[in-house]
Amino acid sequence: MKCGEAIKMLRLMPSSLNQRLVLFILLPVALVLVVVGMIGFIYARDQLLNQWGEATILKLQRTAHQVDMRLSLPKTLMMMIQGMQNVDDVRYASKFILKELEEIDGVKRVALEWAAPDRQHGMTKYRSSDSEAPGRTNSTMMRMGPWQQLIRVTPPQFDTSLNAKAISLLVDINDANGSVVGQLRVVLRFDALVTAIEEKEWWQNHRAYLIDEKGKILIETGMQEKTVPQSVQLSQEILDAINREAQGTVIGNVLPPPIVTGFYRLQEAPWTLVIQAPGSEVLAPILRFRLLFFIFGGFVIAVILFLIRSSTTGTVRAIRSVSTATGAVAQGIYDVELPEGGRDEVGELIGNFSTMVDQLKERTRLKDSLNLAMEVQQQLLPKRSFCVGDICFAGICEYCDETGGDYYDFLNPELMGDGRVGITVGDVSGHGVAAALLMTTTRALVRSQVSQHVGLDEAVTHVNRLLIKDTEENGNFATLFIASFDIANHTIEWVRAGHDPALLYDPDNDQFLELGGEGVALGLTEGWEYQSKRHENWKPGQTVLIITDGVWETENPSGKQFGKARLKEIMRRLGPYVTAETIVGTIHEEVKKFRGNVSPCDDATLVAIRWRHPSGRRDS
């Protein structure tokens, strides 16, 4: 490059701040605004056309609905006659239905005609005023079908008796063989139907038509009532669209379009409403905007630059304050102060952040409350294991949430009486706080009834009657298994209320016995009388295992359940010389190992009751 040309290029480079602003800010912004303006014009043009189409379809739909409603009432009454099963029913009911039809606004004539064989003339018709319709018996059956196949709407014709155009609704009455045995005709004034159309503002202010399925004008803007139907002067594109779709708009390929057309087809008659508007009228707002955009473009650019500069400082300051507050919240400090936001996005961000902090604070409080509720509920459960004489109890309850609906309870001899000890295992439907509250109620009711030293069956029956008063409205329920153990008589007595049967394991014979029985869950059937069961041959060394479904229904990552077979295999593997606490702990660990990293989806409770083995070898 020559020296003179280089000097010339340097002179063209901006040498002042104003020049740099013009070159690097104003010029790019101006280009962007021009491009955006063009894109915005195209987008706004399409949106205006779409909005006009949606608004027009809605207007046509509402008007068509009014006409359909006027037609649907007589159609409904006509279908009542057509759908009757024999002629006698039609004769009887027609007196009332025809009267109802005649009282409908716009109905001018109603005729129910019967057809019967005639030797000379083939068929003879009888009007509805005839009291009899010869040739029919009670066994004559009618056929039914869709309205559109049964009721026909005739084109509007000039009726000289009415001195106005009228339409007829026709429905045939067929026998079981498909032969026509009669016909019901309802004549309506056409002007009574289209009054709802002609009164609309859009009908009076635009070019509009009501056409039939053949493309004939039934009525149009400024058309006299007695004018005969004529061909619609619409383009083939519009007619094709009307034949294809029930509703829509036709814009054309020229933009802006000279004419925009909307149409909507009626449901109860083969007619279509059509409205047309000039494209310049529909697009008038965007055309005016385009002119104003170019006139005030330079002024808008200057205003935008000023607003960008003035708002940047406040925006940066607000973002820094939100960032500082975020760090404080991350450390558990929720009492943060933020500047008051405006009405822009930054103000919305500050408002949403403040709302989030308040919600986090509330959730932390709720979390603390749930933890407290969990501690209270855990305190309601007995200690993990203890022995009463030679009977040892052990249990564990694991909730899938902070609180749950499972529970177990040891009933000492003071509660049971007669030197017996007892155990209760319950499973309330659902999880969380609601289930925990129902569990607490169930536990209190069971203890209250057992303390009265009544039979287990009577106690559970009373508990059910009391509990159902709390569950009859919300549909909650609880399953229960309660058992008492009598060492002196070597017996186990139990009541099963919808719970899984307990397992009695005899290690000497390596046999499992299910302690089952009938009984629905508590809180479902108020009048249920529970019956107790008894096992007479309970021996030392045997173990009773009571679990909730959350144990054996535990799933591993592949979706396979733990199952009862694994429980039995663990019991066999442990052998006869283990404590109840060892049994519970081993099964619990095996379930956790089987579950892997899958979160528990149900509460799980496991209780073992063991009569110490009589051998001199000590349980371990």
**CA–CA separation, 350 vs 360, rounded Å?**
15
Indicate the SS3 state at residue 531.
coil
- The residue whose two tokens read 């371990």 is 620
Angle between helices 284-295 and 297-330 (to 10 degrees): 90
**CA–CA separation, 292 vs 282, rounded Å?**
18
Q: What is the mean pLDDT of residues 381-403?
A: 80
**CA–CA separation, 181 vs 115, rounded Å?**
5
**Which alpha helices (DSSP H) does 186-340 contain, by range?**
190-198, 201-205, 236-244, 279-282, 284-295, 297-330
- Each residue of 498-521: pLDDT tens digit? 999 999 999 888 899 999 888 899
Cα end-to-end distance, the chain, whole Å: 100
DSSP secondary-structure letter at 267? S
> From residue 330, how far is each of 321, 382, 524, 586 by CA, in Å?
14, 39, 48, 40
Whether 104 and 98 have beta carbons less than 8 Å apart is answered as no
Of 373 and 491, more confident: 491
Lowest mean pLDDT among 143-152, 235-244, 356-365, 387-396: 143-152
**CA–CA separation, 283 vs 73, rounded Å?**
41
- On the question of pLDDT at 186 being above 60, the answer is yes
- Each residue of 66-121: pLDDT tens digit? 888 888 888 888 888 777 756 667 777 777 888 888 888 888 888 888 775 544 44
Nearest to 48 by CA among 289, 295, 300, 292: 289
Long-range contacts of 109-116 (CB under 8 A, 24+ apart): 109/185, 109/186, 109/187, 110/184, 110/185, 110/186, 110/187, 111/184, 111/185, 112/81, 112/182, 112/183, 112/184, 112/185, 113/182, 113/183, 113/184, 113/185, 114/181, 114/182, 115/180, 115/181, 115/182, 115/183
- pLDDT grade, residue 168 (50/70/90)? confident
Burial label, 290 (beta-carbon count in 10 A; 0-12, 13-18, 19+)? middle
Averaged confidence pLDDT in the chain: 78
Q: What is the mean pLDDT of residues 605-616?
A: 79
Written as one string, the DSSP assignment of 33-64 is: HHHHHHHHHHHHHHHHHHHHHHHHHHHHHHHH
Whether 215 and 231 have beta carbons less than 8 Å apart is answered as yes
- On the question of pLDDT at 464 being above 70, the answer is yes
- On the question of pLDDT at 137 being above 50, the answer is no
Of 419 and 137, more confident: 419
> From residue 556, how far is each of 54, 401, 571, 591 by CA, in Å?
54, 19, 21, 9
What's the confidence (pLDDT) of residue 377? Answer: 61
- Each residue of 571-592: pLDDT tens digit? 999 888 888 899 999 999 999 8
What's the confidence (pLDDT) of residue 316? Answer: 62
Q: How many Å separate Cα 270 from the centre of its chain?
A: 36
- The residue whose two tokens read 């009726």 is 159
- pLDDT grade, residue 231 (50/70/90)? very low
At 7, list the tokens.
Answer: 């000097």
Provide the whole-model pTM.
Answer: 0.46
- On the question of pLDDT at 244 being above 70, the answer is yes
- On the question of pLDDT at 225 being above 50, the answer is no
- Each residue of 332-366: pLDDT tens digit? 776 777 777 667 666 777 777 777 877 777 776 66
Indicate the SS3 state at residue 194.
helix
Q: H-helix or E-strand containing 278?
A: strand 271-278
Q: How many Å separate Cα 268 from the centre of its chain?
A: 32
What's the confidence (pLDDT) of residue 371? Answer: 61
At 422, list the tokens.
Answer: 């007892």
- The residue whose two tokens read 């604070």 is 361
Task: List beta partners, residue 396.
Answer: 606
Lowest mean pLDDT among 310-319, 354-363, 378-387, 442-451: 310-319
Where are the CATH 3.60.40.10 domain residues in the chain?
A: 382-611
Nearest to 384 by CA among 618, 594, 583, 542: 583
Assign domain 382-611 to a CATH class.
Answer: alpha beta
- On the question of pLDDT at 494 being above 90, the answer is yes
% pLDDT > 70, the chain: 77
What's the confidence (pLDDT) of residue 138? Answer: 33
- Each residue of 532-585: pLDDT tens digit? 999 998 888 889 999 988 888 888 899 899 988 998 999 999 888 888 899 999
Whether 67 and 269 have beta carbons less than 8 Å apart is answered as yes
What's the confidence (pLDDT) of residue 124? Answer: 40
Beta strands in 53-195 (DSSP E): 107-118, 122-126, 151-153, 157-159, 164-174, 180-189
**CA–CA separation, 491 vs 482, rounded Å?**
14
What's the confidence (pLDDT) of residue 586? Answer: 92
**CA–CA separation, 98 vs 127, rounded Å?**
12
> From residue 571, how far is each of 129, 315, 501, 510, 535 by CA, in Å?
89, 69, 16, 9, 20
Cβ atoms within 10 Å, residue 390: 12
Q: What is the mean pLDDT of residues 129-148?
A: 35
- pLDDT grade, residue 132 (50/70/90)? very low
- On the question of pLDDT at 148 being above 90, the answer is no
Burial label, 489 (beta-carbon count in 10 A; 0-12, 13-18, 19+)? middle
Of 267 and 146, more confident: 267
Indicate the SS3 state at residue 551.
helix
